[in-house]
Amino acid sequence: MPTGVAIRDAREQLFDAAERILLRDGPSGLTSRSVTAEAGCAKGVLHRHFADFDGFLAELVEDRIVRVERLGAALRDRAGEATVPGNLTEALTAVFETVAVAIVSLVTYRDELRARLRQRRPVGVPVLTEATELIAGYLAAEVGNGRLAATCDTDLLARTLIGSGHLLFADRTAARPETEAVHAMVTAILGGALTP
């Protein structure tokens, strides 16, 4: 991109480019040069918006956490509608199909990024921790609706769903799991917690 040409939504353009690289090449392929090349802009654009590359990556993670929180809000709004396994299948697929697996690999790969994120989020794995909390909130709402047994441990179910979902989607080079496979996993985990 020529010097002096304004880029609309440069931060979002850079974040989207970084996510595409993560999904395609993994964290080892993610550099400031690869991000700006993927975004189609000069390298200086990244450094005009972020103090350094790890600062950029920390903001990328925070931005993707906000996306997961939006998915969680949409899931909570569906409490009492459709089916519990169907709602969870859609939510888990939305979380893992795009951002969660890529972000987890990035956070694991880069020590400096992990240290920066710990300043804001001292517990858990960013994105997965938030997704777990949102799933637990949805499950609690469904307990309140009588669609899940009052005796079920919603926190444990949420952690199990997130962990199992991560395992299903973890290989970024393999074909994505079929919806039926995700649904079967969700149904098996919910097991006796589903009310008739």
Domain ranges, ordered by start, for the chain: 1-49, 52-193
Cβ pair 20, 13 in contact under 8 A: no
pLDDT tens digits, 21-34: 988 888 999 999 99
Q: What is the pLDDT of residue 17?
A: 94
* Number of Cβ within a 10 Å radius of residue 106: 23
Q: What is the pLDDT of residue 108?
A: 86
Q: What is the pLDDT of residue 111?
A: 87
Q: What is the pLDDT of residue 21?
A: 93
**Which DSSP state fits 7?**
-
Q: What is the pLDDT of residue 8?
A: 60
Distance CA 88, CA 115 (A): 32
Q: What is the pLDDT of residue 127?
A: 87
Cβ pair 78, 88 in contact under 8 A: no
The CATH number, out of the four listed (2.40.70.10, 3.40.50.12780, 1.20.1250.20, 1.10.10.60), of the domain defined by the range 1-49? 1.10.10.60
E strands in 75-187:
none
Q: Which fold has domain 52-193?
A: Tetracycline Repressor; domain 2 (1.10.357)
Task: Name the strand (E) or helix (H) holding 173.
Answer: none
- Quote the tokens at residue 66: 């906000």
Distance CA 61, CA 192 (A): 35
Could you say which residues of the chain have pLDDT below 70?
A: 1-8, 98
